[in-house]
Structure 1
Amino acid sequence: MLREARKAELKERLFQEALQLFCDKGYENVTVQEIASQCGIAKGTFFNYFARKEDILLYLGESQLEWLEQSAAQHQHVEEPKEQIWLVLNDLLQRFAAHSELMKLAAVEMIKSAYLAERESRSVLQLHAQIAGLIDAAKAEGRLRSRWDTADIATTLVSVYFHTMMSWTLLAASRESIGDSLRKHLHVVWDGIDTE
């Protein structure tokens, strides 16, 4: 158990040191050797934690999945499904907001790299499955009555989540909090566009 905790600690340190180097020098100008040296480890040891430099950009998203499970468990007793989903997604977005420079970098690199896009799609599918689970539970408990299929609802909510994250990161980080932006977008979708 102690060994696993040390491994997790070193992986997080590699991630944090890499972020600092990316911010200081630019992603393209940072080598794996520099990241390893900054952490006092051999270059080969780096590859025990990340298969390549690009994987550092994916780490934030992958580590979000653990946060997602913890957040879903923390908010499982919230009665209102819309509020429960907002709380869970907001928890995730707060971690991204703390790393907005990384998010900008990751967005640009994701567009350029098929490898990164394919790897990130796995995290998106897991997020979709978690949100679908929350929707199914709300339907089964009678807290949500909807004519829409669970998969379609989850797809829409995940789309709102990613739109909020990307638009806040790239365009509007200074105008409003990311949580407020998400809440506003969820209201529009949840309440429906046609209110007649």
Structure 2
Amino acid sequence: MLRESRKKELKEQIFLQALQLFQEKGFEQVTVQEITAKCGIGKGTFFNYFAKKEDILLYLGESQIDLLQQSIEKHRNIDEPKEQIMLVLDDLLLHFSSHSELMKLATLEIIKSASLAGKESTRVQQLHLQLASMIDRAKQNGKLHSRWETDVIARAIVGVYFHTVLSWTLLEVQYTTLSESFRKQLEVVWEGIDCI
């Protein structure tokens, strides 16, 4: 377990150091050699974690999905479905905003690349499936009464989540916090979800 934790820490370090280089020099101008030098690792070590430079950007989604699993487990005992969903997605947004400028850069680079955006879509689908599972559980337990199908509800919530992230990234909208903006928007959508 300790070894896995160290591997995860090193992967996160490579990710953050690479993003700093991308921010300073531009994604296209940075080489793997520069990344390894900044991290103090060899190329072999780099390639143990990332097959190519572009894959560094995909780590953003990968790390978010790992955090999603942890957050779902952490908030599993919250009975009220809206609050549980908000807490889970708040955890993701907090992680995203903890290195705000670097995360914005990673998001922009993914958006610019059709190949990377296509690969990242699997992470979006994983988020959708996890939310759908939470919503199904709430319906089965009688905690959520909605005329809407689970899939429609999950897609609406994913839409609010990514609208919040993209507005923050692309439009440079200034929120008190990213989480506050998400919560306000989800409140509006939830009024249409939690009704028969």
What is the TM-score normalised by the length of structure 2? 0.90
CA apart distance, 1:162: 0.4
Question: CA separation in 2, counterparts of 1:79 and 1:145?
Answer: 14
Please tell me the residue identity of whatever aligns with 2:38: Q
Q: Letter of the aligned partner of 2:23 in structure 1?
A: C
1:131-165 deviations in Å (ceiling 9; x for gaps):
00110110010000111110111011001100011
Identity of aligned residues (%): 62
The one-letter code sitting in structure 1 at the alignment partner of 2:112 is K
1:10 alignment partner in structure 2: 10
CA RMSD of aligned residues (A): 1.9
CA distance in 1, matches of 2:36, 2:47: 10
Task: Return 5+ residue gaps in structure 2 as ranges.
Answer: none
Gaps of 5+ in 1: none
Aligned residues: 194
| CA displacement, residues 57-88 of structure 1 (integer Å, 9 cap, x when unaligned) | 11121111111111111111212111111111
Q: Which residue of 1 aligns with 2:30?
A: 30
| C-alpha distance 67-107 of structure 1, shift in aligned 2 (>3 A) | closer
> Does 2:90 correspond to 1:71?
no
Moved more, 17-26 or 63-72: 17-26
- The whole-number CA distance in structure 2 between the counterparts of 1:60 and 1:107 is 8
Q: Which amino acid aligns with 1:13?
A: Q
**Aligned-partner SS, 2:52:** coil
Q: Distance in 2 between matches of 1:62 and 1:119?
A: 11
Counterpart residue identity of residue 122, structure 1: T
Matched, 1:94 2:94: yes
Structure 1 residues 21-61: Cα deviation after superposition (integer angstroms, max 9, x where no partner): 22222222211110011222222331111111111111121
Give the direction of change, closer, same or farther, for the CA distance of 1:145–1:151 in structure 2 (3 Å limit): same
**How far, CA to CA, are the matches of 1:84 and 1:113 in structure 2?**
33
What is the TM-score with the length of structure 1 in the denominator? Answer: 0.90
What displacement does 1:2 show? Answer: 4.3
Give the letter aligned to residue 84 of structure 1: Q
